[in-house]
Amino acid sequence: MIPKNEPSFRQSVDMMFNRAVALLDLSPGLEQKIRVCNSTYTVRFGVRLRGQLTTFTGYRSVHSEHMEPVKGGIRYSLGVNQDEVEALAALMTYKCALVEAPFGGSKGGLCIDPREWNEQELELITRRFAYELIKRDLIHPSQNVPAPDMGTGEREMAWIADQYARMNTTDINSRACVTGKPLNAGGIAGRVEATGRGVQYALQEFFRHPEDVKIANLAGTLDGKRVIVQGLGNVGYHAALFLSEMDGCKVIGVIERDGGIQNADGIDIDALRDHMIRTGGVAGFTGGTFIKDGAKLLEEACDILIPAALEGVINMGNAARIKAPLIIEAANGPITAGADEVLRNKGTVIIPDMYANAGGVTVSYFEWVKNLSHIRFGRMQRRQEEGRHQLLIDELERLSNDKQLGWELSPGFKEQYLRGAGELELVRSGLDDTMRIAYQNMREVWHGKEGVTDLRMAAYLVSIGRVAASYRAKGL
């Protein structure tokens, strides 16, 4: 939560926007057009639950329609309010522009603690909320396409898709009305893990540039880097898992709602996640030391800090004590505008949210395209690709049978090379490519444009430039 004495989340986003836009030569009119949120719809609806009528409040905010459909998650949390959804919708506009996903920005939220309701009740509530949005085209394959966010996942997206299909029985593209659905309801392989996977790819790309790594006062590769993660939900869990399993990082701290776990030798992420699912928290986990005031772990020494829970957790109250030289914002808005300045002045390198967590919307884009094309990626070409590879393998095997040449295929090469790319491999390749290119676009501006001091400013400049070009092309 943002401390009361600091600007609100939306004001923070605007302040960061203003800092960047000062370096662009935009007309004041266009600047204001891009900054403001186009519309926010508030809905209050009643659902009969446990013998009485309960009223819920939800929002769907559309920040920019320079491209349609607009896109952005639906969040279930008691902290949801208009300011928050508007800030998140604005971030979606810039995020989509940065990773070249052809969408405007939107976001939705329902003021609810999902843990207070059982599955059947949540389905009723979700369907009713979806009904309110669908009948106003605020959920629609060509106008507004939600996705999961905090407190929602595949299950809620499947209910929303089904609700839309029931209300639009002749819409052949109905599955494209929402992304993040389960595979058997029109989802795409790799979507659940996509945002965490994107965080991993973002860090891998950062470490491919030694000059950037040096600015963060670090050296070498990801191997052996000490990581602290806040939030072991969808994004935090996958990021922590992939970084520890594949890149050799050591997750030395995990912060959750009920406290933190610390272990200098590295935490077994899957074991901790299993413990959380069983007990509802991290307390009682035997693979590390429990710390009641988990947020204190944000201030511990580490190489990479990954806030992956909620906004405003690094603020004027703790910014000066943050020791991590590199922060990657897996959550949206985890650093307030004031804290951002304190950290920048200290030399902390921040990989900004609009880039760091863009893996989710990138794979959502692939899912939307899959739904509109009504075919699984790789279905047409996979076996043809394998056939061509077989030709080459046959030829190599023929040559390696020639004892005079003395050739031998390396162990495992044949199996690896023969395997054609299925949907998951293609999704990962598309995501990796997107994260690499977006980082390179940002760093070109970071190092190449006068007055640009940091990656966040660079990210805003790339995005705003693209949104402005799009508005200009429309004659605005």
Residues with catalytic annotation? 107
Residue from the set 110, 229, 239, 308 that interacts with ligand NAD by CB under 6 A: 308
Q: Check binding of 148 to ligand NAD (CB under 6 A).
A: yes
Helix/strand/coil percent split, the chain, to 5: 50, 15, 35
Q: Check binding of 115 to ligand NAD (CB under 6 A).
A: no
For residue 194, the one-letter residue type is: A
CA distance 186 to 174: 10
Tokens of 273: 């996640």
Tokens of 359: 């893996």
Question: Taking contact as CB under 6 A, which single stretch among the options 20-28, 122-130, 324-332, 342-350 is the one that binds ligand NAD?
Answer: 324-332
Q: Check binding of 332 to ligand NAD (CB under 6 A).
A: yes
Q: Check binding of 232 to ligand NAD (CB under 6 A).
A: yes
For residue 246, the one-letter residue type is: M
Closer residue to ligand NAD, CB minimum distance, 91 or 452: 91
Q: How far apart are the first and last CA of the chain?
A: 37
Angle, alpha carbons 344-345-348 (nearest 5°): 45
Closest CA to 76 of 22, 127, 148: 148
Q: Check binding of 360 to ligand NAD (CB under 6 A).
A: yes
Is the separation of the CB atoms in 228 and 204 below 8 Å?
A: no
Beta bridge partners of 151: none
Closer residue to ligand NAD, CB minimum distance, 70 or 452: 70
Closer residue to ligand NAD, CB minimum distance, 224 or 284: 284
Residue-wise burial string across 114-149, b where 16 or more C-beta atoms lie within 10 A, e elsewhere? beebeeeebbebbbbbbbbbbeeebbbbebbbbbbb
Question: Taking contact as CB under 6 A, which single stretch among the options 166-174, 230-238, 342-350, 409-417 is the one that binds ligand NAD?
Answer: 230-238
The distance of closest approach from Cβ of residue 279 to ligand NAD in the complex, given in angstroms and rounded to an integer, is: 12
Q: Check binding of 234 to ligand NAD (CB under 6 A).
A: yes
The distance of closest approach from Cβ of residue 9 to ligand NAD in the complex, given in angstroms and rounded to an integer, is: 11
Nearest-CB residue to ligand NAD?
Answer: 233
What stretches of 133-283 adopt beta strand conformation (E)? 144-148, 226-230, 250-256, 259-262
Closer residue to ligand NAD, CB minimum distance, 164 or 355: 355
Closer residue to ligand NAD, CB minimum distance, 186 or 231: 231
Is the separation of the CB atoms in 76 and 339 below 8 Å?
A: no
Question: Taking contact as CB under 6 A, which single stretch among the options 13-21, 224-232, 282-290, 414-422 is the one that binds ligand NAD?
Answer: 224-232
Beta bridge partners of 148: 74
Residue from the set 305, 309, 354, 445 that interacts with ligand NAD by CB under 6 A: 309
Closer residue to ligand NAD, CB minimum distance, 213 or 332: 332
Closest CA to 21 of 382, 467, 355: 467
Q: Check binding of 81 to ligand NAD (CB under 6 A).
A: no
Q: Check binding of 257 to ligand NAD (CB under 6 A).
A: yes
Closer residue to ligand NAD, CB minimum distance, 62 or 331: 331
Q: Check binding of 231 to ligand NAD (CB under 6 A).
A: yes
Cα dihedral sign for 441, 447, 452, 456? positive
Closest CA to 327 of 448, 223, 450, 206: 206
Residue from the set 336, 357, 362, 371 that interacts with ligand NAD by CB under 6 A: 357
- With CB under 6 A as the rule, give the number of residues binding ligand NAD: 23
Sheet of strand 52-64, all strands in order from the earlier edge strand to the far edge: 39-49, 52-64, 104-111, 70-77, 144-148
Question: Taking contact as CB under 6 A, which single stretch among the options 137-145, 205-213, 303-311, 368-376 is the one that binds ligand NAD?
Answer: 303-311
Tokens of 292: 């009641």
Closer residue to ligand NAD, CB minimum distance, 40 or 234: 234
H or E element at residue 109: strand 104-111
CA distance 292 to 289: 10
Question: Taking contact as CB under 6 A, which single stretch among the options 46-54, 158-166, 231-239, 400-408 is the one that binds ligand NAD?
Answer: 231-239
Q: Check binding of 134 to ligand NAD (CB under 6 A).
A: no
Place of tokens 């996705």: 147
Question: Taking contact as CB under 6 A, which single stretch among the options 3-11, 20-28, 328-336, 394-402 is the one that binds ligand NAD?
Answer: 328-336
Closer residue to ligand NAD, CB minimum distance, 99 or 452: 99
Place of tokens 């030395």: 252
Q: Check binding of 230 to ligand NAD (CB under 6 A).
A: yes
Backbone φ, ψ for residue 413 (5° rounding): -60, -45
The distance of closest approach from Cβ of residue 360 to ligand NAD in the complex, given in angstroms and rounded to an integer, is: 3
CA distance 297 to 84: 25
Interface residues for ligand NAD in 372-411 (CB under 6 A)? Answer: none
Q: Check binding of 97 to ligand NAD (CB under 6 A).
A: no
Q: Check binding of 12 to ligand NAD (CB under 6 A).
A: no
Q: Check binding of 352 to ligand NAD (CB under 6 A).
A: no
The distance of closest approach from Cβ of residue 329 to ligand NAD in the complex, given in angstroms and rounded to an integer, is: 9
CA distance 226 to 206: 16
Residues engaged in binding ligand NAD (CB under 6 A): 148-151, 195, 230-236, 255-257, 308-310, 330-332, 357, 360
